[in-house]
Structure 1
């Protein structure tokens, strides 16, 4: 039986505040499993992007070393994006995005089969994300961040070229990508 829930999930952890500040639980395996997210995380990553409009992505790791990711911004603000790259998906090439910030505390869960990327909306942004598998260079892949067939509406000023890594500047177009990811029956739906 397949779930009708969207594979991409916006997670809004509850913050418990008082005069000292606040406390939040950002991850609990039993709580996430009860919400239908049953992967196990084995690696945590942390990045600093100094210039505003630094763009990282669109990245994925191919099977059998695919990675589910749980992404959050712990300093500054980012626009975080996931693109459906599952072969046979009715939402192939569609994308969803959400603003994640240190202030709002939101997280984005991105399962295997989706390319992931983000652009910073402030200088000195720090992003952390959990992965369900370790990094394996031979399984590292990506898609062009500005692929017109995908049409991501990045919140970047018109005519401005974001800060990119050399690798991200030359990623292939989606049309040239032979996806090894299988469609699981769950179409990409808008996130709340």
Structure 2
């Protein structure tokens, strides 16, 4: 006796009678965190990413920065670098908050990314793996909004701090209950 064959064309999905219709507005991380829900020292992990030659090429294409230090290995080695040197902004974007959960935690309370700063402390080469982290360092309340300041750190696979800086975000305060 043979096993029944599972054919995708024969499967159907029927909502149960208690299931509400799908609402895209409800397809989100969770309820928004407002300024009052956050605290200094709160950390937001961003997954690691290896800086492959493909990322170097993509960044070069997007930025138009075609200095040979970023794509010519003999040029790099003649200047004392072990491999292609990453663009500074290529390193900085590894801390894009949207690559982690931070903006999803804020949800609809997030109004704007205000500004950022970066200090490049050690070289980043092709095939280095970077580990970004955001940590809240300041919460500045205003009337109906507030500013969240996060320290940004990026370490490489050897534990070397290759970049630090800060981001600031404008977010809503919790609405008054009616």
Question: Scaled by the length of structure 1, what TM-score is found?
Answer: 0.25
Rg comparison, structure with higher value: 2
Name which structure has the greater RCO, CA cutoff 8 Å, separation 6+: 1
Q: TM-score, normalised by structure 2?
A: 0.27
More strand by share: 1
